[in-house]
Amino acid sequence: MQKLDSQMRRWSSCLRDDLGIDPAASNHLATTISDEVGQLPEEIKERIKTLSPVPLSDRLDELSAFQSWMDFVHSISFPQPEVVRAQIIVQNYICFVYLKETWFEVLHDYLPKGSTTSQCCAFLLSDPIRSLRNAISQGNWRYKDDFSGIEYWNRKNKSSSFIHWEVGQVELDFWQALARSTAYATLLSLR
């Protein structure tokens, strides 16, 4: 968990300001999440594990493969634009579509309200991230003209009009890092 804690420490002010996470937890996010999940009663842990038709080991395999892909892309000195675009697509899918319903919703339902893990899940399940997830899954997004972020469209229901959203790259990086860290810390704790 130390490596995840270290990676997320960069975002500790966002964790405190945007999610209301206390300073100690914001500096040791993955460890805090892992400890919270580890302290759940065994019957709750078993219930969480069985709510997904995909075994935890398979989810960890997907996250590991995803991390290998990210490491590969970052190892390329001058990645081609199509490689970077593929990276963005895969990263957004894994962080916001793959993990949302199958993992973050389940965790949010079973962890104590006000816990760090619950706060992270609530943030990842709410707007503007919820709308980004929907836009990704429905193909209603594009790069901003200057490639400084993404603009996307979502609607509350099929009869409403589309709402336009934008997210800059730095904020998107934070959302993605939070999703990955929360997923890894919880999955590894339940393994």
pLDDT score of 92: 95
**CA 132, 135, 139 angle in degrees (round to 5)?**
140
SS (H, E, C) the chain: CHHHHHHHHCCHHHHHHHHCCCHHHHHCHHHHHHHHHHCCCHHHHHHHHHCCCCCHHHHHHHHHHHHHHHHHHHHCCCCCHHHHHHHHHHHHHHHHHHCHHHHHHHHHHHCCCCCHHHHHHHHHHCCCHHHHHHHHHHCCEEECCCCCEEEEEECCCCCCCCEEEEEEHHHHHHHHHHHHHHHHHHHHHHC
Beta bridge partners of 112: none
pTM: 0.94
150-172 core/surface letters (b: 16 or more CB in 10 A; e: else): bebbbeeeeeeeeeebebeeebb
Q: How far is CA 173 from the centre of its chain?
A: 10
Asked if pLDDT for residue 189 goes beyond 90, the answer is yes
What percentage of the chain exceeds 70 in pLDDT? Answer: 100
The angle that helices 116-125 and 129-138 make with each other, rounded to 10 degrees, is 50
Asked if pLDDT for residue 101 goes beyond 90, the answer is no
pLDDT score of 77: 85
Count CA atoms within 13 Å of residue 132 on its CB side: 29
pLDDT tens figures, 75-93 = 988 878 888 888 899 999 9
pLDDT tens figures, 143-176 = 999 999 999 999 988 888 999 999 999 999 999 9
Q: What is the mean pLDDT of the chain?
A: 93
pLDDT tens figures, 57-72 = 999 999 999 989 888 8
Mean pLDDT of 41-46: 95
Which residues are within 8 A (CB) of 54 and not within 5 positions of it... i.e. 6 or more apart?
102
Asked if pLDDT for residue 29 goes beyond 90, the answer is yes
Mean pLDDT of 3-12: 94
Place of tokens 């490639």: 147
Which residues are within 8 A (CB) of 44 and not within 5 positions of it... i.e. 6 or more apart?
110
Mean pLDDT of 112-134: 96
Q: pLDDT-derived band of residue 107, with 50, 70 and 90 as boundaries? A: very high
Asked if pLDDT for residue 98 goes beyond 80, the answer is yes
Q: Count CB neighbours of 4 within 10 A.
A: 21
